[in-house]
Amino acid sequence: MKMLKLTLCHLYPELLNLYGDSGNVLTLIRRCQWRGIYVDVINCGVGSAADFENVDIFFMGGGADSNLGLVSNDMNNIKPQLELAVEQGKVLLAICGGYQLLGKYYRKKDTVLGLGLLDFYTEATDKNFSGNIVVDTGDYHLIGFENHKGRTYLNGLSPLGQVISGFGNNGKDKTEGVRYKNVIGTYLHGPLLPKNPKLCDEIIKIALKNKYGIEDLQELDDSLEIKARQHTLKLINSKFVSFA
């Protein structure tokens, strides 16, 4: 059998590097490796010549506000390629600051940033939404830690899930994140993927289907991940343990 290989493009790893978000990249790599799938990681920084044709999964983390400006400016150069990739159904996972930048705008006082890849928007406030969060995607529950002053309004787009405990996009409409085709935007740090192996595997599945037409994915021993989920859910609220 020919060796399966996926290409992961880590966007602006030097500037978007807060809150352990790179742990998502490590988790994607490991869960592929454990199944014998090779992952090639391309780091794409400011001014890097972008060739996205072979990329299967894009990843963006969160970053300090001062870095978001640099990223936003540079991202305009790669917007056409990203738009194409999104329409082709490629995976784009964006966390917190990276998520905010995908929208129509992210406004903080006089500064307005944003790529306009999707139609949602974000207004910065002074109050921090910070704490553990549980989200229901319909298929499974996501666990994470949110920490953001931005309030995101989806403008009719679909959320990633419904907030069970925590704040989510704006603390009002119970939505968390965004899901458009295979773009996943979310405020969930933690990092997101180690404690949410189902989402991680969903991403790998989509990428394999896009590239090879393969639909099934080998099961892994996730007993430690499940225990970690049970334990964390219990710390948040003992009645959530069944969501593990």
Partner 1 sequence: MRKILAIIIAKIAIALAKLMGHKGTNFGGEIALRICPDILAWFGSQVKKKIILVTGTNGKTSTNNMIYSMIRQSGHTCVCNKLGANLDSGLISAFINSCTLTGRIDAEYASLEVDEASLAKVMAHLKPDTIVFTNLFRDQLDGYTELDALLDKIRGSLEKSQDTVLLLNSDDPSLASLGEDLAHAKYYYGIETQMDMGSQDVDKDSVLCKLCGEKLDYDHYFYSQLGHYTCTKCHFKRPIPDFKAFIEDKGQKRELTAIGKDDFKVVRDFTTNDSYSIYNTLAAISAGGVLGFTAESVKKGLENYRPQVGRMENFYIGKPITLNLAKNPVGFNETLKIISQDMSSKVVAIGVNDLPQDGRDVSWLWDTNFEILLDIDDTIVNYTVFGRRRYDMALRLKYAGIDENKLTVAETVEDAIDSVVKNLSDTGYVLLNYSLLFETQKILKGRNEDVKADSVPSVS
Q: Which residues are the active-site residues?
A: 96, 189
Nearer to partner 1, 227 or 239 (CB): 227
Contact status: 186 vs partner 1 (CB under 8 A): no
Question: By CB under 8 A, is residue 79 in contact with partner 1?
Answer: no
Q: Which of 52, 99, 120, 145 binds partner 1 (CB under 8 A)?
A: 145
How far apart (Å, rounded) are the C-alpha atoms in residues 46 and 15? 9
Q: With binding defined as CB under 8 A, does residue 23 bind partner 1?
A: yes
Using CB under 8 A, pick the residue from 8, 10, 11, 27 that binds partner 1: 27
Strands, E assignment, the chain: 5-11, 38-44, 57-60, 91-95, 105-108, 111-113, 121-136, 141-153, 161-165, 175-176, 178-180, 183-186
Report if residue 21 touches partner 1, rule: CB under 8 A: yes
Q: Which helix (H) or strand (E) holds 68?
A: helix 65-87
29: phi then psi, degrees, rounded to nearest 5:
-60, -50
d(CA 95, CA 62): 6
Residue 154: CB minimum distance to partner 1, A: 25
- For partner 1 (CB under 8 A), the number of binding residues is 35
Q: d(Cα 154, Cα 177) in Å, to the nearest integer?
A: 8
**Site for partner 1, rule CB under 8 A:** 14-15, 17-23, 26-27, 30, 64-67, 70, 128, 130-132, 145, 147, 189-191, 194-195, 224-225, 227-228, 231-232, 235
